[in-house]
C-alpha cells in the first residue's frame, strides 16, 4: 500500500487540458493566462489588485520590498511559520523579531503583540512591518492587528500561504481590508496549486505597481515611469534593482483551472476537519480551536499530543510505521541554527516551543477519502491507547 501523505495536490483532466492548451499556443511565459489568473484571484479574494509570481516566497520578498523594507528597519512575525516568512526580511537587509503565539489559536498572540509594541514604542524600536501568518488556514485576528497598526504606525503583510478560501466574518482572506498586502502560495501542498507559484494581493495601486516592477528586474517599458524620454519602441529602462520573479503562462493556466474548484476544495477540507473532530473525540489530544466568525481554509489539521516528552516522536514513528506520513508544522523559526547565530535562543518564545513539542499534522487534502481518514483515526486510537 502506498503511504498516505499529509498533503497532496488534486489534478483534474481540465487542469491537464488547460496546461496542454498553453503548450500548443504562442506563449509559454508572459501570455494571456497570467492576466486572467490575476483577475480571477482578485475576484475570489475581493481585492482590487493581484500580481502572480514564481512562488510564495518571492511574493513575500516583493511585498516587503514594495513597502520599502530595508537596512535599519524591523519586521516582526510569528515563530510558528515556515522560514520564508522571516528570511525575506533578512533578504531585504532588515532585522527580524518574533511575537509568541496564542496557546489556543497557534497564531500570533495579539496580547503579546500589543505588549511588545508598547515596549518598542518607548525604546524607539517599532517595526516597519508586522506579518501575521494564518496558520493552518485559520485566520488571525485581523481587525485587532489592524487597530494596532493604526495606533503604532506599522504596515501589515498577511502570510496567507495556508489561507486561500478562509474568511473573517464572511470577508475573504486576501481582501486586504485589514492589511497593506497578502501573500498566497500555490505550492502543491497548499489549497490550490500552480506547481511553484504565488501571488501578492493589495488594495494599494502604487504597491501593486512596485511589485510588478520588482518582479521583472525593475525594468519598465512604460514611458511615463521613465527618467527622461523613451528612445524608441525598443526602449526599456531599469529604474530599480529587481528580480526575475515572474510566473509562467503554463502555471497561470493551471492555477486558473484549479481556481474553478476552490470552493469544492475548501468545502471538502472543512468536511474532513469536521469529521476528524468527531473521529478523534475522547482521545488524549488537543484538536484545532474553532472561533465564531472565523472560517479556516483547513490547509492543515494539527493535533497536539500533550502526553509528555517523547510521546509526539513515538506517535509520529507509529503513524509512519502504519503507512501514514504525518508531518510537523512548524519548528519555531527562532530555534533554527541560522537564527540562533543572529542571537535567538530556545526559551525566547515558549508558547511556540511548547506547541512544537506536541504538534502533529494529520493527512488533509481534498482527495483524501473517508475510508483513508477513518484509517488515520483508528491508527491514532490504537497508538494512543
Ligand atoms: C508555503 C509557505 C510559504 C512559502 O511559499 P512558497 O510558495 O513555497 O515559496 C511561506 N509561508 C508559509 C506559511 C508557507 O506555508
Q: How far is the CA of 187 from the centre of ligand 1 (A)?
A: 7
Question: Do you find a cis peptide bond into 330, omega within 30 degrees of 0?
Answer: yes
The pLDDT of residue 307 is 80
- Give the atom of ligand 1 at the shortest distance from the alpha carbon of 187: 7
Cell 508586522 found at: 130
- In the predicted model, is pLDDT for residue 13 greater than 90? yes
**Which residue puts its alpha carbon closest to atom 7 of ligand 1?**
56
Return the half-sphere exposure (C-beta side, CA atoms, 13 A cut-off) of residue 255: 35
The pLDDT of residue 308 is 83
Q: Which three cell numbers stand for residue 132?
A: 501575521
Whole-number mean pLDDT of the chain?
97
CB atoms within 10 A of CB 110: 20
Q: What is the pLDDT of residues 23-35, one digit of tens each?
A: 999 999 998 999 9
The pLDDT of residue 309 is 83
**Strand partners for 158:** 182
CB atoms within 10 A of CB 201: 31
The pLDDT of residue 81 is 98
Q: What is the pLDDT of residues 71-116, one digit of tens each?
A: 999 999 999 999 999 999 999 999 999 999 999 999 999 999 999 9
- Asked whether 305 lines ligand 1 (CB < 6 A), one says no
In this prediction, residues 324-331 reach a mean pLDDT of 98
Q: How far is the CA of 152 from the centre of ligand 1 (A)?
A: 27
In this prediction, residues 8-17 reach a mean pLDDT of 98
- Give the atom of ligand 1 at the shortest distance from the alpha carbon of 55: 7
- Cβ partners under 8 Å of residue 230, min gap 6: 223
The pLDDT of residue 276 is 98
Catalytic residue (choose from 61, 65, 128, 190): 190
The fraction of the chain above a pLDDT of 70, given in percent, is 100
DSSP 137: G
DSSP-derived pairing of the beta strands 359-362 and 181-185: unpaired
Q: What angle do CA 164, 316, 190 make, to 5 degrees?
A: 15
Q: Which of 89, 118, 115 is nearest to 102 (CA)?
A: 115
Q: How far is the CA of 228 from the centre of ligand 1 (A)?
A: 39
- Give the atom of ligand 1 at the shortest distance from the alpha carbon of 57: 9
Quick one: residue 258, left, alpha or beta (phi over 0 = left, psi -120 to 50 = alpha)? alpha
Q: Which three cell numbers stand for residue 90?
A: 533578512
In this prediction, residues 142-169 reach a mean pLDDT of 98
Query: If 0-12 CB within 10 Å is exposed, 13-18 middle and 19+ buried, where does residue 30 land?
Result: middle
- Asked whether 85 lines ligand 1 (CB < 6 A), one says yes
The pLDDT of residue 49 is 98
DSSP structure string for 221-239: --GGGSSS---STT--EE-
Cell 485566520 found at: 139
- Asked whether 55 lines ligand 1 (CB < 6 A), one says yes
- In the predicted model, is pLDDT for residue 1 greater than 80? no
Examine the residue annotation and report whether 190 is marked as an active-site residue of this protein.
Answer: yes
Query: If 0-12 CB within 10 Å is exposed, 13-18 middle and 19+ buried, where does residue 23 land?
Result: exposed
Q: Which of 292, 284, 279, 302 is nearest to 372 (CA)?
A: 279
Helix (H, G, I), strand (E, B) or coil at 219: strand
Q: Which three cell numbers stand for residue 359?
A: 504538534
Q: What is the pLDDT of residues 231-290, one digit of tens each?
A: 999 999 999 999 999 999 999 999 999 999 999 999 999 999 999 999 999 999 999 999
- In the predicted model, is pLDDT for residue 363 greater than 90? yes
Mutate to test the pocket of ligand 1, among 56, 195, 333 (most ligand atoms within 8 A of CB): 56
Q: What is the pLDDT of residues 189-225, one digit of tens each?
A: 999 999 999 999 999 999 999 999 999 999 999 999 9
In this structure, the dihedral spanned by the alpha carbons of residues 135, 129, 344 and 299, taken in order and rounded to 10 degrees, is 10
Q: How far is the CA of 191 from the centre of ligand 1 (A)?
A: 12
The pLDDT of residue 2 is 85
- In the predicted model, is pLDDT for residue 358 greater than 80? yes
Q: What is the pLDDT of residues 164-190, one digit of tens each?
A: 999 999 999 999 999 999 999 999 999
- Asked whether 329 lines ligand 1 (CB < 6 A), one says no
Q: Which three cell numbers stand for residue 93?
A: 537587509
- Asked whether 187 lines ligand 1 (CB < 6 A), one says yes
In this prediction, residues 143-157 reach a mean pLDDT of 98
Q: How far is the CA of 240 from the centre of ligand 1 (A)?
A: 26
The pLDDT of residue 280 is 98
Amino acid at each position: 500500500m502506498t503511504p498516505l501523505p499529509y498533503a497532496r495536490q488534486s489534478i483534474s483532466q481540465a487542469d491537464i487540458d488547460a496546461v496542454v492548451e498553453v503548450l500548443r499556443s504562442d506563449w509559454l511565459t508572459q501570455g494571456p493566462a497570467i492576466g486572467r489568473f490575476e483577475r480571477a484571484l482578485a475576484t475570489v479574494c475581493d481585492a482590487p489588485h493581484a500580481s502572480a509570481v514564481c512562488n510564495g516566497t518571492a511574493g513575500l520578498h516583493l511585498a516587503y520590498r514594495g513597502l520599502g523594507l530595508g537596512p535599519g528597519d524591523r519586521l516582526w512575525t510569528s515563530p510558528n511559520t515556515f522560514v520564508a516568512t522571516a528570511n525575506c526580511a533578512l533578504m531585504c537587509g532588515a532585522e527580524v523579531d518574533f511575537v509568541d503565539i496564542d496557546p489556543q489559536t497557534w497564531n500570533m498572540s495579539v496580547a503579546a503583540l500589543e505588549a511588545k509594541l508598547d515596549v518598542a514604542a518607548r525604546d524607539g524600536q517599532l517595526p516597519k512591518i508586522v506579518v501575521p501568518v494564518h496558520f493552518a488556514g485559520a485566520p488571525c485576528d485581523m481587525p485587532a492587528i489592524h487597530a494596532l497598526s493604526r495606533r503604532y504606525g506599522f504596515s501589515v503583510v498577511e502570510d496567507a500561504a495556508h489561507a486561500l478560501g478562509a474568511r473573517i466574518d464572511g470577508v475573504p482572506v486576501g481582501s486586504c481590508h485589514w492589511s497593506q498586502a497578502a501573500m498566497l502560495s500555490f505550492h502543491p501542498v497548499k489549497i490550490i496549486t500552480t506547481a511553484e507559484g504565488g501571488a501578492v494581493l493589495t488594495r494599494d495601486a502604487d504597491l501593486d505597481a512596485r511589485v510588478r516592477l520588482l518582479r521583472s528586474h525593475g525594468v519598465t517599458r512604460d514611458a511615463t515611469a521613465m527618467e527622461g524620454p523613451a528612445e524608441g519602441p525598443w526602449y526599456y529602462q531599469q529604474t530599480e534593482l529587481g528580480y526575475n520573479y515572474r510566473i509562467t503562462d503554463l502555471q497561470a493556466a493551471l492555477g486558473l483551472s484549479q481556481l474553478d474548484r476552490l470552493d469544492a476544495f475548501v468545502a471538502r477540507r472543512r468536511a474532513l476537519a469536521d469529521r476528524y473532530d468527531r473521529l478523534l473525540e475522547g482521545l488524549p489530544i488537543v484538536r484545532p480551536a474553532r472561533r465564531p466568525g472565523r472560517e479556516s481554509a483547513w490547509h492543515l489539521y494539527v493535533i497536539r499530543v500533550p502526553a509528555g516528552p517523547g510521546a509526539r516522536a513515538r506517535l509520529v514513528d507509529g503513524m509512519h510505521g502504519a503507512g501514514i506520513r504525518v508531518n510537523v508544522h512548524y519548528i519555531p523559526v527562532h530555534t533554527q541554527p541560522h537564527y540562533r547565530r543572529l542571537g535567538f535562543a530556545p526559551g525566547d518564545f515558549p508558547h511556540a516551543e511548547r506547541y512544537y513539542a506536541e504538534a502533529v499534522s494529520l493527512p488533509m487534502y481534498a482527495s483524501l477519502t473517508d475510508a483513508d481518514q477513518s484509517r488515520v483515526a483508528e491508527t491514532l486510537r490504537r497508538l494512543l491507547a
